């Protein structure tokens, strides 16, 4: 019996989501589309098994094949990221935030200071986010001390400070970062996040960490696939710990990897289990293993480089339509559009684009003065559309659609959100773009 017969209700919802993915363009830079093999592995019988513990040291019997799978995943991960001999990897963390928490649990004590990238400048919630409602940021300050709304557990447990990008370049000013570190002596320094479009100077960050006696953790969730393929620089062997999710540019199903020097990986393993989790998701590890097998093939290298080429090409096309690109460009798969010179900002624009068949997300940006619920920017990226096989020529078309949507919506800029959405929904011109997008999607079908 298939799902179609046993539970038509859920089957229909899945079919609808499949259709949505097939007929819309996902430009969300943290999303990707996995191969049928990855999906088969994730849906496999490994989901039925408990395997608390590590290879050959499990608390449950019957783990001979789980051990085999985890060993193979570790071997592939080491190869994909060219791990030095003295480094190892944990493949069991259930997600990126859990992986980061495991590192904190392993390396920090309650109350220690951690220092990460400022969230509105592209950092991540799990790097110590808290805020003070209705406070306007000083756009010229390079440091943020957080606020009373300790929305992420990290800000409740640790003292957290965050460093900001330079108001001039919207990139990190490493001299400023060093000064903040020297003054506040964090025990852990973190780089990485969700919306920083540029390379990070891992060597400089390590040297700053060394100067203040801090550990250095590089969270490369977004760039992992690009780094594995050599399309971006790698922090492996430079930082003390490297964490990543596996489902973004790495295209290996949902999960996380933690790489660290052998001196600290045992502590991290203990922090994952029993510190934070029970049994690992063996089926997710199976997906990661298959995905890493794909990462090791030459085609993946081509994919990663094309992903970056597409993003850089898209930047140039968007500039032709007078879109302002945060930091002036991108070194990766991710682009942040500062919409303050346009009539429509991130929230409304993202919704209008979705009706036009282009899926993106509203985002904060450096020197943000608006709320994250209605911010100034739009974040887009090329991992998924490159997986579909799209290249520079399609970027020309996508940039033109993005611009057309902005032009169509501009007369509705003063509308409240609901009225704005109603106008978008009823717009024949938006519907026309959505039809054109569908046509392009069908030329680059997802292999479901």
Which residues of this protein are in contact with ligand DSN, per CB under 6 A?
Answer: 30, 96, 124, 194
Please tell me the number of Cα atoms within 13 Å of 51 on its side-chain side.
Answer: 25
Residue 219 catalytic? yes
Give whole-number Cα distances, 409 to 66, 91, 318, 345, in Å. Answer: 53, 46, 17, 11
Residue 131 catalytic? no
| Cβ at position 98, least distance to ligand DSN in Å | 12
Distance CA 23, CA 59 (A): 46
The alpha carbon dihedral of 320, 323, 324, 329 has a sign of negative
Residue 379 catalytic? no
Residue 340 catalytic? no
Compare residues 53 and 366 and give the one whose CB is closer to ligand DSN.
Answer: 366
Compare residues 58 and 251 and give the one whose CB is closer to ligand DSN.
Answer: 251
Compare residues 214 and 350 and give the one whose CB is closer to ligand DSN.
Answer: 350
Compare residues 124 and 254 and give the one whose CB is closer to ligand DSN.
Answer: 124
Compare residues 158 and 196 and give the one whose CB is closer to ligand DSN.
Answer: 196
Residue 101 contacts by C-beta under 8 Å, 6 or more apart in sequence?
126, 153, 154, 271, 276
Compare residues 124 and 342 and give the one whose CB is closer to ligand DSN.
Answer: 124
- How do 188-191 and 25-26 pair as beta strands? unpaired
b/e code 428-443 from CB counts within 10 Å (16+ = b):
eebeebbebbeebbee
Compare residues 95 and 430 and give the one whose CB is closer to ligand DSN.
Answer: 95
Distance CA 415, CA 436 (A): 27
**Closest C-alpha among 263, 281, 285, 279 to residue 106:** 263
- Tell me the backbone φ, ψ of residue 122, rounded to 5 degrees: 115, 10
| Cβ at position 97, least distance to ligand DSN in Å | 7
| Cβ at position 244, least distance to ligand DSN in Å | 11
| Cβ at position 427, least distance to ligand DSN in Å | 28
Distance CA 271, CA 261 (A): 15
| Cβ at position 28, least distance to ligand DSN in Å | 7
Compare residues 66 and 336 and give the one whose CB is closer to ligand DSN.
Answer: 336
Distance CA 392, CA 307 (A): 10
CA diameter of the chain: 66
| Cβ at position 107, least distance to ligand DSN in Å | 21
Lookup: tokens for 204: 């400089």
Of 50, 174, 321, 415, which is the active-site residue?
Answer: 50
**Residues composing the chain:** 448
Compare residues 221 and 437 and give the one whose CB is closer to ligand DSN.
Answer: 221
| Cβ at position 194, least distance to ligand DSN in Å | 3
Of 24, 164, 187, 248, which is the active-site residue?
Answer: 248
The alpha carbon dihedral of 370, 372, 375, 378 has a sign of positive
Residue 79 catalytic? no
Residue 59 catalytic? no
Of 58, 78, 198, 254, which is the active-site residue?
Answer: 254
| Cβ at position 105, least distance to ligand DSN in Å | 19
- Tell me the backbone φ, ψ of residue 405, rounded to 5 degrees: -60, -45
| Cβ at position 274, least distance to ligand DSN in Å | 25
- Tell me the backbone φ, ψ of residue 241, rounded to 5 degrees: -140, 145
Are 311 and 69 within 8 A, CB to CB? no
Of 70, 121, 201, 219, which is the active-site residue?
Answer: 219
Task: Give catalytic residues, as residue numbers.
Answer: 50, 52, 219, 245, 248, 254
């Amino acid at each position: 019996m298939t799902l179609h017969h046993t539970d038509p209700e859920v089957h229909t919802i899945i079919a609808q989501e499949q259709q949505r993915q097939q007929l819309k363009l996902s430009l969300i830079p943290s999303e990707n589309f996995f191969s049928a093999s990855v999906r088969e592995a994730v849906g496999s019988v490994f989901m039925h098994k408990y395997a608390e513990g590590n290879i050959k040291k499990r608390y449950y019997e019957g783990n001979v094949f789980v051990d085999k799978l985890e060993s193979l995943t570790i071997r592939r991960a080491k190869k994909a990221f060219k791990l030095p001999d003295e480094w190892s990897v944990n493949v069991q963390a259930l997600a990126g935030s859990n992986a980061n928490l495991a590192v904190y649990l392993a390396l920090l004590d309650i109350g220690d200071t951690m220092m990460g990238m400022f969230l509105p400048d592209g950092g991540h919630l799990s790097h110590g986010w808290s805020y003070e409602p209705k406070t306007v940021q000083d756009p010229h300050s390079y440091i943020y001390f957080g606020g009373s709304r300790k929305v992420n557990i990290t800000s409740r447990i640790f003292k957290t400070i965050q460093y900001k990008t330079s108001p001039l370049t919207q990139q990190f000013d490493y001299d400023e970062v060093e000064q903040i570190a020297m003054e506040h002596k964090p025990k852990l320094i973190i780089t990485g996040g969700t919306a920083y479009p540029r390379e990070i100077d891992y060597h400089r960050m390590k040297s700053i960490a060394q100067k203040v006696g801090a550990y250095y953790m590089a969270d490369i969730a977004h760039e992992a696939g690009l780094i594995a393929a050599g399309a971006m620089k790698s922090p492996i062997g430079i930082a003390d710990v490297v964490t990543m999710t596996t489902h973004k540019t790495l295209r290996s199903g949902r999960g996380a990897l933690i790489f660290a020097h052998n001196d600290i990986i045992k502590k991290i393993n203990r922090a994952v289990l029993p510190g934070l989790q029970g049994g690992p998701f063996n089926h997710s590890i199976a997906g990661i293993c298959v995905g890493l097998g794909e990462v090791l093939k030459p085609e993946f290298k081509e994919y990663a480089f094309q992903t970056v080429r597409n993003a850089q090409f898209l930047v140039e096309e968007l500039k032709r339509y007078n879109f302002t690109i945060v930091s002036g460009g991108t070194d990766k798969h991710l682009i942040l559009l500062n919409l303050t010179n346009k009539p429509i900002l991130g929230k409304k624009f993202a919704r209008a684009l979705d009706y036009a068949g282009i899926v993106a997300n509203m985002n904060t940006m450096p020197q943000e003065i608006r709320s994250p619920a209605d911010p100034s920017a739009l974040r887009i990226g090329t991992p998924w559309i490159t997986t579909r096989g799209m290249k520079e020529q399609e970027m020309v078309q996508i940039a033109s659609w993005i611009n057309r949507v902005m032009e169509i919506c501009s007369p509705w800029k003063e509308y409240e959100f609901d009225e704005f959405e109603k106008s978008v929904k009823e717009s024949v011109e938006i519907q026309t773009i959505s039809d054109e997008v569908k046509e392009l999607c069908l030329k680059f079908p997802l292999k479901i």
